[in-house]
Structure formats: C-alpha cells, structure tokens
C-alpha cells in the first residue's frame, strides 16, 4: 500500500513524500490515520534533527515519519493481535513506549523514531512493540479529533497525578493534588494550560476548592474564561479565578491574597520563564508542590528556588513532560463520557500544511493546530472561516457549523470536512 507522509531527514529537513509501505508482518497492524494534532515536540525534533534524543542517527538514510498525537482506524490486523483488535476499530496511540514496559533508557517513539509510523501520514504500520507495551488504545467516542488530543490531555493528567505531598515525621509521599486544596496554574491559557483547566474541572474525585489561572495576555484569558466558566467550576465546588498578572503591582502578594493568605498547595508552571517559576515558588503553601511542566530548549535553563522554605516549609518541586498509558486511558475514557477538548483547537489544516506549520509552530498564535491527513487544506484559523466562506462554500458551511458550537471545532465540522474537503 502507498502512503503519503511528512518525513524527517535532518535539521529543518521535512519532506512530504509518497512511498510504499511493506506488507505487514503477523505481529503488526496496518492503520489509516485520520487526524493528528501538532506538538511543540515535533518542532523541537525538526530543529534538532539527530541531536534530539528520540531521532535515530541514520535518519538521513532512513527518514522517520513525524507526528505523535494521532488517531484513526485499523485496517488489517496481523494474526498475533487478531484476538485483541479488529479492522474498523478506532484507535489512539501512547507514543512514550519507554515510559511503560519498554527497556530502560530506550526513547524510541512513534512520531520520532520509526520509518513507517507517525501521525503525519495517510497510512502507517503499527509495530509489534506498540501493542506489546499496551500502547495501542481503543477509542469508543465520536469523531477522531478527541482521540488525537487524548495524548496532550494525558500529559496534563500525568502532571496532576505526579504532584505529591508529605506528612512531617513520616516517609510517605501522597500522590496527586490536595483534595479540597488550593491550586494555581501559571501561564495557564496556552494549549496545555487549557487542557489542565479542562481536566481539573471535569475529573472524577480529588478536586481543588480554589483554582487560580494566570497569564499576561488578556485576550487569551478571556477566551479561557468563556470556555471553562466560573459558573461551571462553581457547580463542581471550585472557586475559579482568571487573573492577569501583567496588570498586578505585586503579583506574589496579590496571588497569595487570593489564596486567603496561606499560599497554594499545588502550583503548575506552563511556560519555561524564569520569573514565572520564581513567582510559583514564592506562592507555595506549607508542603506546597511546584510542578514544572514546560520543557525549556536551553539545557542550562535555571531559576532561583527558596531553600529556606524547602527546609522549614517542606516545599518541593517535580517536573513532568508526558503521561503514561494509564493517563491516556483515563483521557480517552473522559472523552467517551463527554469531555470535549475542542477548546484547545484554534487551527485546522491538511497534510500539505504540516511542514511549514511544524517548522514555524512557535510563531503561530493560538492553540492546537489540528491536521486531517487525507485533506488538502492550508493551516487555517477557525476564526477565519466566516471571511473565507464569502468565496468558498466549504468554509461557509464549516463556519456555520462552528458558529453553532460557540466558534469551536466539533464532530459535526470534522465529519463535514472529511466528506467535502479537498482530498490530498
């Protein structure tokens, strides 16, 4: 079978190519990719090439397919896995194989390391190790884009679960945020911050009493507040507050005041910015946990941390960059029960848009960029659909559908695009 895919040959060397997939082996699965959401990790892989830990050294001779937040449909199942999977099943994949049962220190992952599997492709071969590690996951919900976004959602689920707290005098760590405690999500209205807010408001059990979300971009704060409302949070017993720290004279003092003066049990930092990390440290409560989520590009990146409080206030720090398979199963289960990640998505495009979008991802404003791999479409902000619809009937209908859904992408819009969009 032929596939079209965006392949990495080296630093900033991405190519959209058509080539033959080999016949599948008895321990492999042939699959159709439908959607893939672009991730900053793919941008880093393109910029770094073989300097990236997940990119093979021989990528120039054996190019790999990029993209790791993808979903689709199984087409042909090798005999080894025929009792567990069947053609027609919808799927998502946990790409972090080495986080599960893979060999210690091995960083191979779909979307970085393989010739025949990655999200930015029309058809792929799922290798045996994905199934062996229980990383091929069934999706029972509607549409495909929620399953694509289950991977980024699983990352923030893992972030929440990775926080921990202690009991003085005992050598026991209690994992997760403090139930009924106070949390702050700093630089929290980018794509991953939005995913964290969505999860915190919809998860089952272990809810905070107060959730403060900060940023310095009022437009993004207003959009977040319209998606994940104070009223809905209150219905879940959570006092949700969006604040612009750029407008505060003394952000630390004012944020602590919002907590009632005690500080926050759990603080999450979603941008690799030194002052934001130091702000997070300063608002920690006794036994407060600072979670640094955002991965810096500079290997020497550092920030000040108050070690007086580490010693006397039991404050501590943890870093996370991804979720495990259990986190992804939780994400898929929440989506099947109705959690909609559409608020993360601001742009839609086809496979032809991947190269330019990936190599310029930090420069493109907005949230997640969602790719439909069998469609030919420039990367387009959903907010532009109305204007484009004045001359293009496809955009006109997409605008009408999204406008009925508060300007958000949805299963109906996806189905219309797949049926009526320009085919690749």
Helices within 83-229 (DSSP H only):
128-132, 145-148, 150-162, 191-202, 218-227
Only one residue has tokens 């469609």, namely: 375
Over the stretch 321-338, which tens digit does the pLDDT of each residue have? 778 889 999 999 998 888
Question: What's the pLDDT at 405?
Answer: 93
Structure tokens at 275: 């002052």
Q: Is the pLDDT of residue 345 over 60?
A: yes
Only one residue has tokens 């603080």, namely: 267
- Are 102 and 28 contained in the same domain? yes
Q: Considering the chain, what is the average pLDDT of its residues?
A: 94
Over the stretch 279-316, which tens digit does the pLDDT of each residue have? 999 999 999 999 999 778 788 999 999 999 999 999 99
Domain closes at, from 269, 284, 319: 319
DSSP 237-278: T-EEEEEEGGG-SSHHHHHHHHTTSS-EEEEEE-S--HHHHH
Output b/e per residue, 301-329; b: 16+ Cβ within 10 A. eebebeeebeeeebbbbeebebbbbebbb
Instruction: Tell me the pLDDT band of 117, cut-offs 50, 70 and 90.
Output: very high
In a domain, 159, yes or no: no
- Are 371 and 291 contained in the same domain? no
In a domain, 153, yes or no: no
In a domain, 155, yes or no: no
Question: What's the pLDDT at 107?
Answer: 72
Helix, coil or strand: residue 196? helix
Instruction: Tell me the pLDDT band of 108, cut-offs 50, 70 and 90.
Output: confident
Q: Of all residues in the chain, what percent carry a pLDDT higher than 70?
A: 98
Print the domain residue range for 265.
167-319
Question: What's the pLDDT at 397?
Answer: 98
Instruction: Tell me the pLDDT band of 366, cut-offs 50, 70 and 90.
Output: confident
In a domain, 127, yes or no: yes
Q: Of all residues in the chain, what percent carry a pLDDT higher than 90?
A: 87
In a domain, 66, yes or no: yes
Only one residue has tokens 């998505």, namely: 345
Only one residue has tokens 């630089």, namely: 187
Over the stretch 21-72, which tens digit does the pLDDT of each residue have? 999 999 999 999 999 999 989 999 999 999 998 999 999 999 999 999 999 9
Structure tokens at 218: 């009022």
Question: What's the pLDDT at 99?
Answer: 56
Nearest to 243 by CA among 277, 223, 216, 266: 216
Strands 264-269, 284-292: pairing is parallel
Question: What's the pLDDT at 342?
Answer: 92
- Are 275 and 405 contained in the same domain? no
Helix, coil or strand: residue 184? strand
Domain closes at, from 251, 284, 319: 319
Question: What's the pLDDT at 100?
Answer: 53
């Amino acid at each position: 079978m032929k596939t079209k895919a965006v392949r990495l040959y080296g630093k900033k060397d991405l190519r959209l190519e058509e080539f033959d997939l080999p016949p599948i082996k008895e321990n492999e699965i042939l699959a159709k990719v439908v959607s893939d959401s672009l991730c900053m990790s793919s941008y880093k892989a393109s910029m770094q090439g073989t300097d990236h830990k997940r990119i093979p050294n021989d990528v120039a001779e054996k190019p790999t397919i990029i993209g790791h937040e993808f979903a689709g449909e199984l087409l042909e199942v090798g005999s080894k896995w025929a009792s567990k999977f069947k053609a027609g099943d919808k799927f998502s994949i946990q790409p972090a194989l080495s986080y599960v049962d893979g060999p210690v220190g091995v960083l191979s992952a779909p979307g970085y390391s393989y010739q025949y599997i990655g999200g930015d492709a029309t058809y792929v071969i799922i290798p045996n190790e994905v199934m062996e590690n229980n990383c091929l996951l069934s999706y029972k919900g509607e549409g495909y884009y929620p399953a694509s976004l289950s991977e980024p959602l699983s990352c923030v689920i893992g972030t929440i679960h990775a926080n921990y707290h202690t009991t003085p005098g005992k050598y026991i760590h209690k994992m997760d945020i403090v139930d009924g405690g106070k949390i702050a999500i700093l630089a929290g209205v980018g794509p991953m911050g939005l995913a964290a807010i969505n999860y915190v408001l919809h998860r089952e059990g272990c809810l905070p009493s107060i959730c403060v979300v900060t940023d310095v971009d009022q437009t993004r704060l207003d959009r977040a507040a319209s998606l994940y409302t104070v009223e809905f949070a209150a219905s879940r017993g959570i006092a949700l507050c969006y604040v612009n720290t750029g407008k505060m004279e003394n952000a630390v003092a004012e944020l602590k005041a919002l907590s009632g003066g005690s500080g926050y049990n759990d603080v999450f930092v979603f941008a690799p910015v030194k002052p934001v990390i130091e702000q997070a440290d300063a608002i920690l409560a006794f036994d407060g946990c600072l979670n640094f989520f955002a991965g810096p590009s500079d290997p020497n990146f550092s920030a000040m941390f108050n070690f007086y409080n580490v010693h006397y206030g039991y404050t501590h720090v943890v870093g996370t960059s991804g979720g495990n398979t259990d986190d992804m199963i939780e994400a898929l289960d929440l989506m099947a029960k109705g959690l909609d990640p559409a608020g993360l998505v601001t742009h839609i495009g086809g496979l032809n848009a991947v190269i330019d979008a990936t190599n310029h991802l930090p420069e493109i404003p907005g949230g997640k960029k969602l790719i439909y791999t069998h469609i030919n479409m420039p990367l387009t902000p959903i907010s532009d659909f109305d204007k484009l619809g004045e001359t293009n009937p496809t955009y006109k209908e997409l605008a009408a559908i999204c406008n009925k859904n508060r300007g958000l992408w949805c299963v109906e819009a996806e189905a219309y695009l797949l049926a009526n969009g320009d085919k690749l």
